[in-house]
Amino acid sequence: MADEPQPPPRLSTEERAEAETREMIERAERAWQRQVEREEAGNAGASPGQMTPLRWALIALAGAALAFLVAEHLTRIG
C-alpha cells in the first residue's frame, strides 16, 4: 500500500491562482528565451562590423538634414 500514489492535495482558490500565475510566467519566460535564441541564431552570420559604414552614412545624412533645416529656419527668422 505504500507504493500507491497519493492523490494531489486539494489547493485553495488562492493557492490555485498562485500556481496558475507562476505557470503562466514560466511559460512566457520560456517562449521569450526561445525567441531570443532564434534571433541570435538568425544574426549569427552577420558580424557587427558589416553594418558600420551604413550606420555612419545614415548619421551623416541625418546631420546634414538637421543643418539644412536649421539654416533654413534661421534665414526665415531674419
CA angle 23, 25, 28 (to 5 degrees): 110
Confidence grade of residue 27 (pLDDT, cut at 50, 70, 90): very high
User: Under a CB-based contact definition with an 8 Å cutoff, are residues 30 and 38 in contact?
Assistant: no
In the predicted structure, residue 1 carries a pLDDT above the cut 80:
no
Helices (H) and strands (E) in the chain, counts: 2, 0
- The rounded mean pLDDT for the chain is 85
What residue spans define the domains of the chain? 13-44+51-77
In the predicted structure, residue 40 carries a pLDDT above the cut 90:
no
Average pLDDT for residues 9-37, to the nearest whole number? Answer: 91
Query: pTM surpassing 0.85?
Result: no
28/44 Cα distance (integer angstroms): 24
Confidence grade of residue 53 (pLDDT, cut at 50, 70, 90): confident
